[in-house]
Chain A
């Protein structure tokens, strides 16, 4: 394990030695490689080195076993998956598919992903979702891979990709331009490598070692506290007491007069998918393996990588700064939860109904939707068991409803 970890640290060092600045982004990408079929998206404006960083990482992980598709050229081609073998068709009347190099290579790069044509992006989307590709009615399974993509969010895109396509990328990191000091370093670096930054990048570990590292990370067990924090972080960005997901009216109109109007939920128009929980869990395991530990602050920091491409905010001035502000509020929310000792109360309530604790629980629920959701499920049970009357419940008092539940005359 130690040897593999050192190799991964060596990979990060080699990439950092050839790429000035953006150390957090590099570390995030390295962490994301520690699970199977990793898919990373790099966003940056033109000339900030997104393609260089993509190639450095692909070379460091896969050596020469890599294929890069460029969004600009794919607008015309669209042969990413495979093409028909014409001689077989002409001579034998058999439709034989020649699978494209992109499907076979371990390292897959997508340059300017927002300019890929719909046919190519649909194939890539299917590959990321099901681990297989189809062409001319034939399928082939895709083995474990490393996928890195980049795009310039400021570019007028040739085609608009649907949100589920972006959701398939585990993380999305943003690159920033170099500071004055860093520009000197870049000039020296280009001189040192004679402009061959990517060409000089060595392969730092074999594919077998990469897969072994991924297995080791996958087999790690996270503490229940970390799992609880991961689930709370994602749930706080998803939850809406007025069921935003199913509602045709979206925030801010939906939030008018809502009890939780000042909460995180009122700033979110489209919530992140459940995939964010899985990705954050992978990242937490990777941090434990590579960095030696994981804590709530590092999870909040990872929120900046897993959320930007998965959700839509009500008002965006600067996406990363807005997300930062929401994560600050999440931290304050967690401190409030600690102060209320609400999880200890919930633990007791799950064991059995206690009127006095239930009152404390209702107070906590009036300040925390996630807690309210759990309490409302319990209330449903207690009402059916005759322990609580419908009018007494916080759901009736506050007019809250759980999605998919009919309350009849109690509402």
Chain B
């Protein structure tokens, strides 16, 4: 099982990641992280948009105030528009099936009526 857990990284990939990390060095301080070049302390782990994602995907209760990053807001907006598109699509299907059921029902009623007339010998 152990060999399956190992992830082999090529040397070029290691170099690529290291060079990207040099461009954007991360400074860790406990559970807080900051990007060195900006010198801006980021405690998004505590108050960032990840709290909202957890509330949506993990159903964890959201805190009093939720701060949403622009990218996450865009993501949620996109998901909502996708879902709305799907709802419209499903609604049109439902309308189609309703009409079909109505036609079948009317047809069935007419058939029953015909049978009654025949039984009465009309």
Contact = CB atoms under 8 A, between A and B. Distances in A.
Contacts of A7: none
A250 B82 CA distance: 19
Which range holds the interface residue count of chain B? 35 or more
27 contacts: A224-B19, A227-B16, A228-B16, A257-B82, A261-B82, A340-B71, A343-B16, A343-B20, A344-B20, A344-B21, A344-B24, A344-B25, A345-B26, A347-B21, A348-B26, A356-B31, A356-B33, A357-B33, A360-B44, A362-B50, A362-B53, A363-B72, A377-B7, A380-B5, A381-B7, A385-B5, A392-B58
Contacts of B32: 356
Interface string B15-51: 1111111011110100111010000000011000110
B20 to A, nearest CB: 4
- The residue among B12, B16, B49 with the most chain A CB atoms within 10 A of its own CB is B16
A350 interface: yes
B91 interface: no
Contacts of B78: 262
A354 B33 CA distance: 11
Interface in B44-94: 44-45, 49-50, 53, 57-58, 69, 71-72, 75, 78-79, 82, 86
B117 interface: no
B43 to A, nearest CB: 9
B18 A359 contact: no
Contacts of B13: 224, 228
Interface of B: 1, 4-5, 7, 9, 12-13, 15-21, 23-26, 28, 31-33, 35, 44-45, 49-50, 53, 57-58, 69, 71-72, 75, 78-79, 82, 86
Contacts of B45: 356, 359-360
A225 B1 contact: no
Contacts of A359: 45, 50
Contacts of A261: 82
A259 B79 contact: yes
Lowest 7 A-B CB distances belong to which pairs? A224-B15, A343-B20, A228-B16, A347-B17, A341-B24, A356-B45, A344-B24
A340 B21 CA distance: 12
Contacts of A227: 12, 16
Contact of B17 (A262, A346, A363): A346
A363 B57 CA distance: 12
Interface string A170-195: 00000000000000000000000000
A261 B83 CA distance: 11
A95 interface: no
B1 to A, nearest CB: 7
Contacts of B33: 356-357, 360
Given A224-B15, A227-B16, A363 B58 contact: no
Given A261-B82, A341-B35, A360-B45, 10 more contacts: A228-B12, A228-B16, A257-B82, A344-B17, A344-B21, A354-B28, A356-B33, A359-B50, A367-B75, A392-B58
